[in-house]
Amino acid sequence: MADYRNVWALIAAAAFLQLGGGILGVVTPLGLETLGVSPGLIGAIAAGHAVGFMVGAWYSSTAIILFGNIRVFSAAAAVCGASVLAMQLALDPIGWTIVRIIQGAAFAWMFSSIESWLGATVSAKSRGSVSGFYHLIAKVSLVLGPFFVAGLAPIDFRPYLWCAIFLVLSLLPVCLTRRGEPPPPGTEAFRLTRLFKLAPAAVISVFLAGVINSGTMALLPIYAGVALPDVAGGATGAAALAAAAAWIGGLISQWPAGRISDHFDRRVVIAAMGAIASLAALVLGLMPGLPSNIILVALAVWGAGSLSFYGIGVAHAIDRAEAPQIARVMAGLLFVWAFGSVIGPPLSGFAFNLPFTQGGLFLLAAILSALLSFSMLWRRASRKDVPQEDQEPWNIALPSTAEVAEIDPRTE
């Protein structure tokens, strides 16, 4: 319990951050739609957020070395909170694009500060449990955030006030903690070409996780507003319910799928999850007029398949890495995922706008998920798996920042 007492402030800060992030993930695309922006441009703006996150994660270690964890977190939270309020002062797509890029970089700095601090504070014997608890609290907060603004108009000032409130509250536990800051992190890089040579299946699966999940979740609020017209709370209520269904499906399947992958070829498990996601996406893409309860169930099944294979791809790469390389391998995979997150939203925005179908968003997800399954089976046929006795146990690993590698129990 001592490890939990040492990091409760950091976990509380992450919870407030994800509450704000969950709100932004819903009201931003709906607000842009209200401002007359097409789904294609909404996807491009979401890609700008991913670019900001990728740049912020790249420079986060340097910032922490120069200024320390508390100052980096505080500065980023202040910038992010101000940028959310600025969205109400400049209700135009260009202003929101700039703001979303800034927010992406700020969120990367905030999570980098928290996760590097966690990695330096938690003892090796408790890393697995603390890491799992950290991710669980963060993702539950991400699910709950949108319900604070359900029923409010997408460009009403109140959703943005709620978001700013949570971002400001995240400062309290970090600034008031009496725990000392950790030593500066290392900055050694791991070349992506070397990473692909080490574990090509992991690179492919993590990249497609970024493309599929970031793109689909970026446009999901707009899809929900059309597909769930009878849900209470209007467009924001429908978006909150749809996002919750998808994330809950991913949270439920994550643990059993990871444990199964400890006993079978991880590539086969990823292929199976891709197949599940593809089938659910086909239902959503080909039958857009389904009843709301069926759509929510299909979204949960899609989330169960698509929102939880990232961690298995990471585990597959770790199986093939030497112990001193693990943290750098995980950081490299994060940037592969981030690159996919830059590509995914514009693709999904284009698919959403296709004139010959109402389900283009999920038809694209179905095609890409099927591609994931086939690529995993192809890699399995091309290269033998690591013997089970040499595999590292699966552990929860969700895309956040490079510093999250430091709290993984498999790192030295």
30-46 pLDDT, tens digit per residue, is 999 999 999 989 999 99
Whether the CB-CB separation of 73 and 113 falls below 8 Å is answered with yes
- Of 397, 404, 400, nearest to 255 by C-alpha is 397
127-158 pLDDT, tens digit per residue, is 666 777 887 888 889 899 999 998 888 889 99
Q: Is 123 contained in some domain?
A: yes
Two structure tokens written together for 328: 């750098």
Longest CA span, the chain? 59
pLDDT at 178: 73
Cα angle value 38/306/31 (rounded, 5°): 25
Alpha helix locations (H) across 69-126? 69-89, 93-121
pLDDT classification of 335: cutoffs 50, 70, 90: confident
In whole angstroms, how far apart are CA 81 and each of 29, 107, 151, 296, 407?
18, 11, 22, 32, 27
Q: Is 174 contained in some domain?
A: yes
Name the percent of the chain lying above pLDDT 70: 85
Q: Is 331 contained in some domain?
A: yes
The SS3 call for residue 39 is helix
Cα separation, 338 vs 329, in Å, equals 14
- Of 174, 155, 199, nearest to 77 by C-alpha is 174
Taking phi first (over 0 means left), then psi (-120 to 50 degrees means alpha), and beta for anything else, what does residue 399 get?
beta
Q: Is 45 contained in some domain?
A: yes
Residue 224 has pLDDT above 60, yes or no: yes
Give the CA-trace dihedral at 341, 140, 123, 256, to 10 degrees.
-80
Residue 242 has pLDDT above 70, yes or no: yes
Whether the CB-CB separation of 384 and 266 falls below 8 Å is answered with no
Cα separation, 373 vs 386, in Å, equals 19
Residue 210 has pLDDT above 70, yes or no: yes
Residue 181 has pLDDT above 60, yes or no: yes
pLDDT at 87: 93
Alpha helix locations (H) across 122-170? 127-144, 157-169
Cα separation, 49 vs 326, in Å, equals 27
Q: Is 325 contained in some domain?
A: yes
- Of 258, 358, 345, nearest to 307 by C-alpha is 258
Whether the CB-CB separation of 86 and 94 falls below 8 Å is answered with no
Whether the CB-CB separation of 6 and 179 falls below 8 Å is answered with yes
Q: Is 81 contained in some domain?
A: yes
Structural domain count, the chain: 1
Q: Is 412 contained in some domain?
A: no
Map tokens 């590698």 to a residue.
Answer: 405
Whether the CB-CB separation of 330 and 314 falls below 8 Å is answered with yes
pLDDT at 410: 54
Q: Is 205 contained in some domain?
A: yes
CATH number at residue 52: 1.20.1250.20
Whether the CB-CB separation of 137 and 170 falls below 8 Å is answered with no
Map tokens 């509450």 to a residue.
Answer: 19
pLDDT at 334: 82
Q: Count CB neighbours of 190 within 10 A.
A: 17
Q: Counting beta carbons within 10 angstroms of the beta carbon of residue 409, is it exposed (0 to 12), middle (13 to 18) or buried (19 or more)?
A: middle
Question: How does the average pLDDT of the chain come out, rounded?
Answer: 85
271-320 pLDDT, tens digit per residue, is 999 999 999 999 999 987 889 999 999 999 999 999 988 888 888 888 88
Give the structural domain span for 115: 2-407
In whole angstroms, how far apart are CA 395 and each of 131, 263, 386, 390, 398?
8, 14, 17, 15, 10
Cα separation, 308 vs 372, in Å, equals 13
